[in-house]
Chain A
Amino acid sequence: MKSKSAAVPYLIWMVIFIVVPLVLVAYYAVTTPEGQFTISYISQVGEYTAVLMRSIWLALIATVICLFIAYPLAFIISRRSGNGQRTMIMLIMLPMWMNFLLRTYAWMTILEKNGLINRFLSNFGIGPLEMINTQGAVVLGMIYNYLPFMILPLYSVMTKIPNSLIEAAQDLGCNTKKILTKVLIPLTIPGISSGIIMVFIPSVSTFIISRMLGGGGNLLVGDLIELQFLGNAYNPNLGAAISLVLMVLILLCMSITNQFGDEEKGELLK
């Protein structure tokens, strides 16, 4: 119990399956297929700046919308009774257990030109609206798939806020806006920051949603990577270089978000 040696099998595992693979990605990114050192692949990533920017932009939109949808919902749930909370959380997690490809596929049926929404609208003489194969559809797919990841961390910090605290603030003359900005938001910063991370990272690196809902004509960075390894443009070195850049970008974003969360938490604890 006192010994560190229990961790030895895992440490070996960790080196082989976590450290070595990442080293390999870095190695592929800076060598030619013949094994010579080169930075041409890394600099080639610059040509795909537009793809990276689009991925970041769409993922940001999806994250913000998720936050706005999830925040009130998590609050409402957290004010329910124990059983009510449990049921609601179960209802929110249930779709997550379905395979995400199936869920995304279902949206195709709904958004298509002859899909359910357009059929419905045509009864009123509206449409057909162009919904599938647009960037909006891609964002919708991201929101749909990752919304629970925003709700759950928010909910878990909000349940810890007692009703009495909010009532106290009300008694002390806070209006709704002030309760939100002075009490709720500062207390839920850790939930917000982990929710942002949990939605942003899978959104920015997704490679199926854009293909299924976006028509495949506007690649996201995940598609770009897949294209280089198992897709239509075999070039694993370039793929590794893009992966490396994506990884570094995300680690940076993460550390900033984390620091921000930490800072606020630090203040609260005083």
Chain B
Amino acid sequence: MKWLSKSYVGVVMTFLYAPIIVLIVFSFNQSKSRGAWTGFTLDWYRQLFHNETILQSLMNTLVIAVVSSVIATLLGTLAAIGIVNMKRWQRNLVMNITYMPIINPEIVVGVSLMLLFVWIKSMGVAVEFGFVTLVLAHITFNVPYVILNVMPKLRQMDTSLYEAAQDLGCNPRQAFFKVVVPEILPGIISGFLMSFTYSLDDFIISYFVSGPTSQTLPITIYSMTRRKVSPEINALSAIIFVVVLVVLLAVNIHDAHKERESRMKARARA
């Protein structure tokens, strides 16, 4: 049984990683055409770092992801606090609408936001398709993830803690920042991280609301795949892969470390 399950995992992992390995290997290929290996080169990496379009869109992507996930986190955390205190029917109504951007097909969300921005523009408000619309759209699909991450933490929290803090002389603001926020912080952080990654990776919604002045990386990649494809795209994916790998490894090691520490502490206490 053991070898069977091991080989099964191996097969699925091969399936998941084969395309990525192919991309990375061919980023070192001299020939421009896919498929034929003609020799090792680092030219595509060099060209990639001279490709202003790609670098500019990488920058745009990062800025948009940071701005939109920060705003979404603020908005979503406040929203979660308010929603928890709502009456049941109000809460159900708000939550059902909140779920919409998550369960709706992305293309419908993209199209609907595009229609919204076109409509707003036709009313005479100067919204240009580009940075602003992208940030607004990203906040819109990020907020639900923040709410969904923060709500459970709020529910778990003992409300009397907040009251106790006030009884002990905290004003509401202090009570909020000293008692409530630390309690729900893990939810806020995971909501923020989720928003950030979704924002980095989003293509479909961005495709509908982007304009000429601010293309994000996925949109640039899309227009690259629709042309004579240059292996720069492979080099780019190799770099992205390494960055993601490093980040995930770091997070993973950090987690494992923390777990071991807490286990040691528990043992020490025992």
Contact = CB atoms under 8 A, between A and B. Distances in A.
Interface of A: 1-11, 13-14, 16-22, 24-25, 28, 69, 72-73, 76-77, 82-83, 86-88, 90-95, 97-103, 105-110, 112, 114-116, 119, 144, 147-148, 197, 201-202, 204-205, 207-208, 212, 222, 225-226, 229-230, 236, 239-240, 243, 246-247, 250-251, 254
Which of B143, B204, B217, B229 lies at the interface centre, i.e. has the most chain A CB atoms within 10 A of its CB?
B204
A102 B237 contact: yes
A4 B108 contact: no
B103 interface: yes
Contacts of A201: 103, 105
B124 interface: no
A11 B94 contact: yes
A81 to B, nearest CB: 11
Given A9-B79, A94-B245, A99-B217, A24 B19 contact: no
Interface residues of B, number: 83
B55 interface: no
A232 B260 CA distance: 58
B103 to A, nearest CB: 6
B268 interface: no
B15 A144 contact: yes
A5 B221 CA distance: 42
A97 B86 contact: no
B49 interface: no
A205 B8 contact: no
A110 B78 contact: no
B158 interface: no
Contact of B116 (A1, A20, A254): A20
A22 B116 CA distance: 9
Contacts of A246: 105, 108
Contacts of B119: 24
B20 interface: yes
Interface stretch (B40-48, B62-70, B251-259): B251-259
B5 A76 contact: yes
B127 interface: no
Interface in B121-157: 136-137, 139-140, 143, 147
Contacts of B191: none
